[in-house]
Structure 1
Amino acid sequence: MAVRSSPLALTVLALLHYRPLHPYGMQRLIKDWGKDQVVNVGQRTSLYRTIDRLTEAGLVRVRATERDQAYPERTVYEITDEGRATARTWLDDMLATPRRDFPEFPAALSHLLMIAPREALSALERRAARVAATLADHDEVLAANARDGHGRVAGIETEYARTMAAAEHAWLLAVIDDLRSGALTWEGAT
């Protein structure tokens, strides 16, 4: 059974590449290593579904079931040779091939005519403040990585996210200025 690549599936394979883990351990490491900034693990069920798909495809397998009185029974997974090869293929493809993502923000921008310019201004100002806070968070993570002696590669995804957020923030400020000055206007719903 062929399984489609996804950021979460690649992350699971990458974690298991380093050592066998149970799902709770995977989720904890994803958060501890800051990978939750690029992979959605807010719902543990998506992690379990991904592990099931990878198991069915033969990319991971059950290594053991741990029993501990302090915790419920935990299934420990390990990566297979096919899983290692697949992870490398997915990684190469994700690094080399731009994909068309369909995020919410550009979709919302494409319907800006539904609201009045003053409403758009208010929403974009709120977004700019949130993006500025995200930039500050990224700066903290990058500074901590540097302070802790981690190499650049340890935070390369944060560096990328910060660069994208900085570009968005600059663009937002320019559009906000145009809305305030009247250089950008339209007849919107009231």
Structure 2
Amino acid sequence: MAMQRRKLSNPLALAVLVTLWQKPMHPYEIAQTLRSQGKDATTKIKYGSLYTVVQNLEKHGFVEVADVERAGNRPERTVYGLTDAGRQEASEWLSDLLAVPAKEFPIFETALSFLAVLHPDEVVRLLKERLKNLEVEAVSGRAALAKLYETLPRLFLVEVEYQVHMVEAQTEWVRGFLEEIEKGSLPGVDGWRRFHETGELPPEFT
């Protein structure tokens, strides 16, 4: 099953559609709602970008003007509501994202793919530093999650739970990889070390 090509692909657009599913809102209220519900931990939210996203959603018929609020001397605020097409788009988009794995390109994977240009001892030093940071992040993430569980149902915290699990999984992998380098059990580590000590590329690397 291939993921459908969408008219809008910015994750913030999906966040806006799902937020408007709750009730019609003006852009500032959408941003405040996303932040109050902790969605800024998974979606980059900038008011300027949000307003552009809302305009694009309106252009494609996914949202529509529901009201224009006027309060005293304050500027008018346009309230947007979700259209039937917007509900369908949000539902189909979310279904695609949940069902179809998408290839992502995390920068850490890029760094790992080129780590052989550094000396093994330097890689060990850097990964130990990363491991320390990951361990702190995992502990603080667990503590924050426990606090959130006190006020919110788990259903609304699954993305935070997933983030914590991913940090813990990376922590475990980095720890194991470090051990392989330090013990010399990583296949090719001797040739890797020789390359940095002699400048000669081992035959097994060509």
TM over 0.5: yes
Query: Judging changes above 3 Å, is the alpha-carbon distance between structure 1 residues 79 and 3 closer, same or farther for their aligned structure 2 residues?
Result: same
Secondary structure, counterpart of 1:77 in structure 2? strand
Instruction: Return the structure number with greater relative CO, CA threshold 8 A, min gap 6.
Output: 1
Q: Pairwise CA RMSD of aligned residues?
A: 2.4
Confirm whether residue 53 of structure 1 aligns to residue 48 of structure 2.
no
Unaligned runs of 5+ in 1: none
Q: 1:19 to 1:177 in 2, by over 3 A?
A: same
Aligned counterparts of 1:142 and 1:151: Cα–Cα separation in 2: 11
Distance 2:100 2:146 in 1: 30
The residue that corresponds to 1:16 in the other structure is 20
2:173 to 168, 171, 174: 171
| Distance change >3 Å, CA 130–CA 45, structure 1 → 2 | farther
Aligned mate of 2:11, from 2, 7, 16: 7
Aligned with 1:78: secondary structure?
Answer: strand
| Aligned CA distance change for structure 1 residues 7 and 180 (closer, same or farther; 3 Å) | same
Task: Indicate the residue corresponding to 1:79 in structure 2.
Answer: 82
SS of residue paired to 1:62: strand
TM-score (ref. length: structure 2):
0.79
Please point out which of 88, 95, 98 is paired with 1:95.
98
Select 1:161's aligned residue among 155, 160, 163.
Answer: 163
- With normalisation by structure 1, the TM-score equals 0.85
Q: How many residues align?
A: 187
Aligned match of 1:127: 130
Structure 2: runs of 5 or more not aligned: 1-5, 200-206
Q: Percent identity?
A: 34
Residues 1:143 and 1:164: Cα distance change in structure 2 (over 3 Å)? same
Offset, 1:73: 4.1
